[in-house]
Structure 1
Amino acid sequence: MSSTTVEQVNEPSGEFTSHDTPPKRLGLALFVICAAQLMIVLDGTIVNIALPHIETDLGFSQANLQWVITIYTLAFGGALLLGGRLGDLYGRRRMFVWGIVLFTIASLVAGIAQNETMMLAARAVQGLGGALAAPNALALITTTFPAGKERNRAMGVFAAMSGAGAAIGLILGGALTEIDWRWNFFINLPIGIVVAFLAQRILTESEDGRGSLDVPGAITSIAGLSTLVYGLTHAASTSWSDATTITYLAVGVALLVAFVVIETRVAHPLLPMRIPGDRTRGTSYFVMLIVGAGMFAMFYFLGIYIQSILGYSPLKTGLAFLPFSVGIVVAAQVASFLIAKVDPRWISGAGAGFATLGMWGFTHLTPQSTYASGLLPWIVVLAFGLGLIFVPLTLTAVHGVAHEDSSVASAVLNTMQQVGGTLGLATLSTIFVNNLNDKVAELTAKMPQGGPAPSKEQLAAAQKMIADEAFTYGASRAYLVAAIMIAVGGVVTLVALHVRHQELATDGAAPAHMG
């Protein structure tokens, strides 16, 4: 990244004011922002491999163990809109730093946790810290880097960190768990301290926004999003017809409807409807939601397949995802180069084609598949496609947003990814379980009846064969639906995303009252 100053740039949107002067060291600014984003994103997966050890050491019940993941997801997804608006109103750097500080302190508490309550409280605060930092991190790129080459390059790095973070989390989780599961949290301490320290010195503060905090909107958005995410998470572990699932989903939707009504009537809304109402942004948000739905489920099913059927250790499982991280980083850089020459819909549309092909490739997995031939080619193709999707859509999702709305526009994008991932896991888990059960019944019915009783070894081998066949069949149906989701996202991108690449070379931010 070039360290060229941009003080002479005169942006037509008024993006840079005398109070909000861009820093001279853009490369270091990008490092600070992306390090924070990577830390937040990878924390969604880094703990997964450590769960059995956390269960043993802290005395978690099996029923409560999943809350180590769920409570982070609820706090993070529920508070994103509030975190974005607080940045717009009270300073993006200030909220970014506060978020990192909260996240870092909570990581320390989680690392030294002695019981369930201490761990779950720390994870909730981690989620809140992430919700403060994440939307303001993306907004800081928008307001720090001038539109065009510098911003496109920065967005490429940022999108790569966002997309590769989950895979990097699996790699780090496997490595650190082999040392001690507590290091999955302690690893955040040096990163958080360095990021918070440098952010105060490298990033410039935005002016405080006009207006006041929309408290009713904040309450209904947090309650609605958290309730909806919990309902989707519950559906993934039970079923869509479960009474608790239905209740939470219904309440979540009702609260979000109330939120929309409130936002159309208050003077200073938490989420001005002009933000998602814009065609370019609305399309970007929808495609991020549906692509996220397909992508996050891929990690879930492949992680189980690699460990349970291929028999890989936690560390080796993490390393198996390394090509995904490399592929998405390479593709993100390709996309950030192309975006100056090609309209974003063609780049994202092509990316959706690659990603659909990669996800479809996983539908052919069998218990006899090998990593080199059955997994690796499709991991690379999928990663390359996702990298091409993320960079243009991240740019278009925040392009043309009024200066005072940039953090909340970023928060909507983060929210779509979070809700999309949860929705995808719930939907595809249902498809997986139904097809797995059908396959178990079919294979069990084909078992020879009568004759001499099988030995324990023969019975165990038969059960393993049925379990492996049923798992791969159920997962293949889930992968097929995920491929269809991504394909739909690609079609929507090609049809509805009409912004030109020349427009992305300028800020084009309209005044707040126009959107």
Structure 2
Amino acid sequence: MIPYGAGITGGANIAEQIHTASKNTVWIIASYPLTQGTFVLIGGRVGAIYGHKNAIVGAGVIWVIFQLIAGFMRSVISLSIMRALSGVGGAFVVPNAIALLTTRFPPGKMRNITVGLFGAMAPIGAAGGSVFPGFFGQLAPWWWLFFFLAILGTMVFAFFFFVVPGEDRPMDPDGKFDYIGAYCGVTGLILFNFSWTQASVDGWQKPYIYALLIVSLVHFGLFVLWELKFAKEPVLLLTIWKSPSFVAMTVSAFLTFMGVGIVVWYITAWNFYVRHYSIFICAAAYAPLAVCGAIAAILSAQAIRYLAAQHIMAIGSLASCVSLILIATMPAQQMYWRQVFPAMILVSFGPDFLFTASQIIASATVKRAQQGIAGSLIGTLLSYGLATGLGFAGTVEHYTNSGDGPVQGYRHALYLGVGMTGAAALIALIFVRIPKNRQEGWDEDEMPGVTA
């Protein structure tokens, strides 16, 4: 998550340094979480066939190489492409890291804590990453940010390789990879997000944007048809959607993650473009996100013992909703402590509470054979939601900006996030139903849903 946070605070400065329009900043930011979310399901399947640890090591090599190459890029298109390719490595890390955790800890308190800590890395990593563009952008040439990330990644993944034990054998060593399903699913997700994000730059009057959106929907249809009728070992078992409350949980989580992506970006946009903060001050604004993100991870793991998972989801969605309201209603010029500071505290609870509750709901509703896929899907919702939220909000901003400055467009984009997170909270409360006594996991002979 560090490159995501670095893109949030460094994107605007990098756009200025490479002499591109400020509206293109969205691509510098969104390119990394776009692929990080899109390729998660594929990463989980690769890990099942070749081993989760092996998949993470391979992902680390991809992540480091393209961070390094990004440091040599000097245009918004080439830089965004390199960030996107690095995001593929990040995508492979997420499901396989979760798999290593959940296979080593049986359902219960320790699994809840480890999943909660893993979820905390989203706000902590994003907030921590937001600091580095200050050093490599404000105090040094911006491209050193990517050289630094390549060095940091080399150290972290090397440490992982030597310290973390792998599995005795892969989960599905004789399995086959579904190339056609992977192509249809990944292409559909990338084109769908691309059309919305590019619409925030050029508007919907460009015919190619409509065309790409239609092509993405066609690929989604082909993906469903292939997975249901032809795939022998599908990338995504579509029967998973028949599990109790699973559809409602995924919709609620996706809407909330979209809202989180919106508020995180527009806090920086407001501070940088309207209040003219330096990069370091923009990064300092995210300090509560790291501190409260760690606290939220612990609270979410403990709350599972006392609250139903759907209530924890609703709390996370409502916290994000209130955060969006605070930012949308603040004056153009105002001291940080009045509304941005409490908004930062509240938004830190959204990803942690949602991620922990979603993983618990998945483990309580789907069969054991499907839990790896369910965990990967939740990872997809997190990163893809962050990227897609930027596209939707940017489109609203594009059409509602006034000639007096960007503030009016910012407010309308943030109100879109308010609607998303408010709806997410209602969906969690009304349609998600997980008995509290089932939150510690199901016995194999009691597992709900249909046969895999």
Q: Shared fold by TM > 0.5?
A: yes
Name the amino acid aligned to 1:501: K
Separation in 2 of the partners of 1:283 and 1:475? 29
Separation in 2 of the partners of 1:174 and 1:258? 45
Could you list the per-position Cα deviations for residues 182-221 of structure 1 after superposition, in whole angstroms to 9, with x for gaps in the alignment? 3422234234433344345423225341531112111111
- Aligned counterpart in structure 2 of residue 294 of structure 1, from 236, 246, 259: 259
Say whether the 8 Å CA contact 1:81–1:415 is kept in structure 2.
yes
Separation in 2 of the partners of 1:488 and 1:512? 26
Change over 3 Å in CA distance of 1:80–1:431 after alignment to 2: same
Does 1:430 pair with 2:395? yes
- Structure 2 gaps, min length 5: none
* 2:212 alignment partner in structure 1: 248
Alignment of 1:119-198 (within 5 A): 119=79, 122-177=82-137, 178-185=139-146, 186-198=148-160
Separation in 2 of the partners of 1:367 and 1:485? 23
Could you list the per-position Cα deviations for residues 304-323 of structure 1 after superposition, in whole angstroms to 9, with x for gaps in the alignment? 11122222101110111111
Deviation for aligned residue 1:366: 1.3
Question: What is the root-mean-square deviation in Å for CA atoms of aligned residues?
Answer: 2.9
Separation in 2 of the partners of 1:408 and 1:182? 37
SS in 2 for 1:187: helix
Separation in 1 of the partners of 2:265 and 2:39? 24
Separation in 1 of the partners of 2:313 and 2:15? 41
Deviation for aligned residue 1:63: 9.1
Deviation for aligned residue 1:343: 1.1
Separation in 2 of the partners of 1:214 and 1:413? 20
SS in 1 for 2:99: helix
Name the amino acid aligned to 1:181: W
* 1:484 alignment partner in structure 2: 419
Separation in 1 of the partners of 2:16 and 2:275? 25
Separation in 2 of the partners of 1:114 and 1:423? 25
Deviation for aligned residue 1:55: 5.8
Could you list the per-position Cα deviations for residues 62-102 of structure 1 after superposition, in whole angstroms to 9, with x for gaps in the alignment? 89876554554454343222112111222112112211122
SS in 2 for 1:394: helix
Say whether the 8 Å CA contact 2:244–2:449 is kept in structure 1.
no
Change over 3 Å in CA distance of 1:137–1:398 after alignment to 2: farther
* 1:420 alignment partner in structure 2: 385
Does 1:374 pair with 2:339? yes
- Aligned counterpart in structure 1 of residue 3 of structure 2, from 32, 43, 64: 43
Change over 3 Å in CA distance of 1:293–1:104 after alignment to 2: same
SS in 2 for 1:290: helix
Deviation for aligned residue 1:293: 1.3
Separation in 2 of the partners of 1:320 and 1:402? 42
Name the amino acid aligned to 2:47: G
Separation in 2 of the partners of 1:62 and 1:369? 23
SS in 1 for 2:245: helix
Separation in 2 of the partners of 1:413 and 1:424? 16
* 1:22 alignment partner in structure 2: none
Q: Which has the larger displacement, 219-228 or 182-191? A: 182-191
Larger radius of gyration: 1
Does 1:233 pair with 2:168? no
Deviation for aligned residue 1:364: 1.8
Deviation for aligned residue 1:330: 1.3
Separation in 2 of the partners of 1:293 and 1:202? 32
Separation in 2 of the partners of 1:425 and 1:80? 19
Separation in 1 of the partners of 2:268 and 2:309? 32
Change over 3 Å in CA distance of 1:103–1:260 after alignment to 2: same
Say whether the 8 Å CA contact 2:288–2:344 is kept in structure 1.
yes
Separation in 1 of the partners of 2:386 and 2:84? 19
- Structure 1 gaps, min length 5: 1-40, 441-465
**Residue identity (%):** 23
Say whether the 8 Å CA contact 1:365–1:476 is kept in structure 2.
no
Does 1:500 pair with 2:435? yes
Separation in 2 of the partners of 1:324 and 1:157? 14
Change over 3 Å in CA distance of 1:508–1:46 after alignment to 2: farther
Change over 3 Å in CA distance of 1:499–1:192 after alignment to 2: farther
Name the amino acid aligned to 2:214: A
Change over 3 Å in CA distance of 1:192–1:496 after alignment to 2: farther
Alignment of 1:303-322 (within 5 A): 303-322=268-287
Deviation for aligned residue 1:161: 0.8
Deviation for aligned residue 1:497: 1.7
Say whether the 8 Å CA contact 2:256–2:320 is kept in structure 1.
no
Name the amino acid aligned to 1:238: D
* 1:16 alignment partner in structure 2: none
* 2:300 alignment partner in structure 1: 335
Name the amino acid aligned to 1:230: F
Change over 3 Å in CA distance of 1:381–1:71 after alignment to 2: closer
* 2:224 alignment partner in structure 1: 260
Name the amino acid aligned to 2:164: I
Separation in 2 of the partners of 1:472 and 1:290? 23
Separation in 1 of the partners of 2:392 and 2:340? 23
Change over 3 Å in CA distance of 1:428–1:48 after alignment to 2: closer
Q: Which has the larger displacement, 399-408 or 225-234? A: 399-408
* 2:242 alignment partner in structure 1: 277
Separation in 2 of the partners of 1:486 and 1:44? 21
Change over 3 Å in CA distance of 1:483–1:66 after alignment to 2: closer
